[in-house]
Structure 1
Amino acid sequence: MIKDQFRLNRQYDLDWIRVLATIAVFLYHCSMFFNPFPWHVKNNEQDSGWILAFSLFVGSWLMPIFIAVSGISVVYTLQKRTAAVYIRERLLRLGVPLLFGVIFLTPPQVYIERITHNQFNGSFIDFLPHYLDGVYLSIGGTGNFAFFGLHLWYLLVLLVFSLLTLPLFKKIGRKNKFSFVHFFILPIVLFLVGPIKTVNLGGWDIVYYLVLFIYGYYFFSNEAFKPALQKTIKFHFTIAVFTSLVFIVWFMKAVPQPGTINDILFYAVHTVNCWSWLLCIFFLADKYLSVPNRFLTYGSEASMPFYVLHQPVIVLLGFLMYDLPWPIPVKLIFLIAASFVIIMLLYHLIIRRIPALRFLFGMKSTTTVKETPAATGTAPR
């Protein structure tokens, strides 16, 4: 009982999910340089084969797992903090890196996009006065001011969700119980919110993310969730693999026209695929990753700076190499290796050692970390 309570409070499996998902985001954005999807900078040769398949597979569940884990984390956060402290921490650890990214990391990316899309001629210094010209809404659009920080939209969405749902979480206690019926209820709910079109981010509408966030708080965090999952995991894994094959092959063959019956079926497959992989990830993390080690401690603290930095570094390197006559595999290996090394050097040698930068990147102060044994740091939440 004591051991179970200790694990309930620490949730090392959730920390592992955040760290590994952050690495997956990094690899996904490296693939965006090569696949056919619109992006800030594209390679001179694109791949509609295995790189596209990887992008489709990872993109189906990547941001939803972040959102779901974030919803679970709120449970443990509110157990130890008042509402005022909770709001203050969210503003500091999400709002500050978001603002820092909007001011310092986003302008170079928008500039590179404008240059490579033939929408601007001139130096970066020439572009800076135009950064506030219009609101950036989509890749290749006309507005330049990306108030959501491009890839940092996740921080803004999570901050809004945290403030929006706090009255609900405080008013309605966590007496909700998880049962097998929820394995069918949530995908149905996610399918039903499909017609709602607000803002599409990371492949899904923000209403879709909100449902996952609330569900994470009330049901994924319930102590009955993991035992129920263990009993049904073979079914979920089978569905996950099958729907992945159907979704990827269907997409690569021909995406259905919006509003058609095939489009509805396609969205249903995509939704079930996402849901099934979320369950598989939770199961695997609980089974194999419920213990801490030095890598987890280091990775948890590094994950927020890594997340904030990774896309600007990838976009910059992509801009420097997009027109080189290298084969795609060589460029991909170089982009992954060089970007990872640059990000980790910036973090390990500079960011983690300077208090002001720790603050700007949403990290805990060195005093707080030292006072917290085996601190789990600040992964994107």
Structure 2
Amino acid sequence: MTTNRRHDIDALRALAFLLLILYHVGMYYVADWPWHIKSPHAAAWLRWPMVVVNVWRMDLVFLVSGVAFGFLSRGLAPLALIRQRALRLLLPLVFGMAVVVPYQAYAQGVANGLVAPGFAAFMARYLVGGPWPKGAFDGSDFPMTWNHLWYLPYLFTYSAALALLTPLMRSAPILRVRAAFTGLRRWRLLVLPALPLMLYTLVLAPRFPATHDLIHDWYLHALYFTVFLYGYWMGIDEGIWRELERLRGWSLALAMACIAAFIALRVTDGDAQIVVWASRVLRAAYLWTAIVAILGFAHRHLNRPWRWLDWANESVYPWYMLHQTLIIAGAVALASLRLGPVLEPAPLVAITLIACWVLTDGLIRRFRWLRPLFGLKPIGDVGIRTSEPLPKCLRMPARNGRKVGPWPSGK
């Protein structure tokens, strides 16, 4: 059996979710940004490093998910694909909402003074749908909350929509649009895909602020579905990946210029309409050029069979599901030690990473009944494989004597 993999996509997916862990630790410490609980040592200076990551972090995740979806959908009928996606995304979502997420809601409710201490009593009430005082915790208006697991229903919605649109996506007009997109070169690849993102930021963002409730999130839906579609289109087209690699230096320089100008405008805190519009345009330009730079550097430097990659591919889904609850539990446990803003963050990161590793490698990956609850495939069925070699026109070029296949694993 021939196994073809896109190692850069696999590696980028794992690293993006590792960055998500560090970002959520930062959310505990950054001042003036609402989160489930906040450190008494919250710092205002963290806002700008967080902005540098915040603008593109989830857009990158959805683009990589779009690439993976393109490979996963090969040879599957739309309804079969939707069933597969439901099993891999919605089953872990329901389990996560019932088992993994509740401690986050409990800790936030206690911190807000709207939930009585006692986790067992909280769980007995949570599992029957409350009710809770208004604003007790994020999502307290609903029977259960999904908190950081919102990515799963969003990804399922986009995957199901694209699966149902398969006949349209294979029509001649859409194939011409796809060919035009993958045929973008030089400045066009840096500018044209950013234009829809700019339009959403100018028109939708002021009217539909982020909610993560799936129903009213029209700005984020437009943004995330577009980059998801970009990833789906990019897929195995070796021409656009070579161009992303070639433009990596230019895109990085443009991204740095855009974010510097964006921060400069935000620091001035001007409320003139032209300043607001300019900052939104710069934000969208930075989002896309940063993604182009990341994809280009990843394709250049990560497209190899790293020894840690198989382990990372098996671990990333459980780590994603577990990490935020572990961050909050760690923060609560460390608060009583009063370590201060310098000494506390390092053990909080260490506790989160070690707990993710112990629970995943020591428990979740070892039990067949636990694996699907955390989005893992059955033992012995890891990664995406094909029993036939790819047609020559679809193969990625060899590099340094190694064949580089286009198939990633992934959710």
TM-score > 0.5 by shorter chain: yes
- Give CA-to-partner distance per residue, 1:188-247, whole Å, 9 cap, x none: 111111222446168972221111111221246533212322343332111111222233
CA distance 1:89–1:371, change in 2 (3 Å): closer
In structure 2, the CA distance between the partners of 1:147 and 1:213, relative to structure 1 (3 Å rule), is farther
| Cross-structure match for 1:38 | 34
Instruction: Please give the alpha-carbon distance, in whole angstroms, between the structure 2 residues aligned to 1:146 and 1:45.
Output: 33
Q: Quick check: 1:136–1:145 contact (8 Å CA) kept in 2?
A: no
Unaligned 5+ segments in structure 1 are 1-5
CA distance in 2, matches of 1:102, 1:84: 25
Given that 1:106 and 1:146 are in contact with CA atoms closer than 8 Å, whether structure 2 keeps it comes out as no
Q: Shift in Å at residue 145 of structure 1?
A: 3.5
**Inter-partner Cα distance in structure 2 for 1:138 and 1:42:** 16
- Alpha carbons of 1:277 and 1:130: their partners in 2 closer, same or farther (altered >3 Å)? same
Q: Which protein has the larger Cα radius of gyration, Structure 1 or Structure 2?
A: 2
1:3 equivalent in structure 2: none
AA matched with 2:210: N
Residue 341, structure 1, aligned to residue 341, structure 2: no
Query: Cα gap change, 1:39/1:89 in structure 2, threshold over 3 Å: closer, same or farther?
Result: same
Give matches, 1:120-199, under 5 Å.
120-131=115-126, 132-133=129-130, 143=140, 145=142, 147=144, 149-173=146-170, 174-175=175-176, 176-177=178-179, 178=182, 179-180=184-185, 181-194=188-201, 195-196=203-204, 197-198=207-208
Identity %: 24
The within-5 A match list for 1:67-82 is: 67-82=62-77
Deviation at 1:139, TM superposition (A): 8.5
Alignment CA distance shift 1:158-1:22 (3 Å)? same
Q: Are 2:18 and 1:11 equivalent residues in the alignment? A: no
Number of the residue aligned with 1:110: 105
CA–CA distance in structure 2, aligned partners of residues 279 and 136 of structure 1: 45
SS of match in other structure, 1:355: coil
* Residue range with higher mean Cα deviation, 303-312 or 80-89: 80-89
Aligned match of 1:226: 241
Quick one: structure 1 residues 208 and 139, their matched pair in 2 at CA, closer, same or farther if it must change by over 3 Å?
Answer: farther
CA shift, 1:371, in A, is 10
Asked if the contact 1:114–1:140 (Cα under 8 Å) also holds between the matched residues in 2, the reply is yes
Give the counterpart of 1:215 among 214, 218, 230.
Answer: 230
Q: Which stretch shows the higher mean deviation, 329-338 or 169-178?
A: 169-178
* Residue 235, structure 1, aligned to residue 263, structure 2: no
Comparing both structures, which one devotes a greater share of its residues to helix?
1
Q: What's the CA shift for 1:83? A: 2.1
Superimposed CA distance per residue, residues 36-90 of structure 1 (whole angstroms, 9 cap, x where no aligned partner): 11111111111122x3333212111111011011111222112232323311220
User: Residues of 2 paired with 1:138 and 1:61: CA distance?
Assistant: 29
The structure-2 alpha-carbon separation of the partners of 1:297 and 1:116, relative to structure 1 and needing over 3 Å to count, comes to same
SS, match of residue 380 in structure 2: helix
List per-residue Cα deviations over 1:75-130 (Å, max 9, x = no partner): 21122323233112201111111111111112211111111122222312332354
Q: Which residue of 1 aligns with 2:91?
A: 96
Q: CA RMSD in A?
A: 2.9
CA distance in 2, matches of 1:137, 1:187: 39
Q: 1:182 to 1:53 in 2, by over 3 A?
A: same
Alignment of 1:247-266 (within 5 A): 247-251=262-266, 253=267, 255=269, 257=271, 260-266=273-279
The answer to whether the aligner puts 1:300 opposite 2:300 as a matched pair is: no
Of residues 49, 57, 60, the one that matches 1:54 is: 49
Larger deviation, residues 115-124 vs 219-228: 219-228
Report if aligned partners of 1:148, 1:156 keep a CA contact under 8 Å in 2: no
